[in-house]
Amino acid sequence: MDSDFNEFLHVPARLTIVALLAPVTWAEFGFLRDAVETSDSALSKQISALAAEGYVDVRKERGVGVRRTLVRLSPEGREAFRRHAAALERIAATARTGGQTDADAS
């Protein structure tokens, strides 16, 4: 297995969440819930797990009649996602070449 493959991030809901967070600064909880197509409680559980690993930061904003929960990738989370995505790309490339590596081709 590729050493950059991250089993924790590979859980489909977590992988989807970090992929959605990668191109943005902050994302609203409701946007993530709708994009992942899950319940508030299921999303909250995954965000809590990601936060416990240090992969996301969570900010709660409260105003007059407004409550928002915002989520972003931490620098550690961004790097973990980058490495995991690169590992997935290498795995896919190996599958496309039938397992032949550049060294095998020489």
The answer to whether 91 and 2 are in contact (CB under 8 A) is yes
**What would the pLDDT profile of 73-106 be if each residue is shown by its tens digit?**
999 999 999 999 999 999 999 988 886 655 555 4
| pTM of the shown model | 0.85
Q: What is the pLDDT of residue 100?
A: 64
Per-residue pLDDT band for 1 (boundaries 50, 70, 90) equals confident
Both tokens assigned to 24: 């943005």
Higher pLDDT, 85 or 64: 85
Domains, the chain, ordered by start? 12-92 (1.10.10.10)
**What would the pLDDT profile of 2-29 be if each residue is shown by its tens digit?**
899 999 999 999 999 999 999 999 999 9
Q: Which residue do the tokens 């930061």 mark?
A: 57
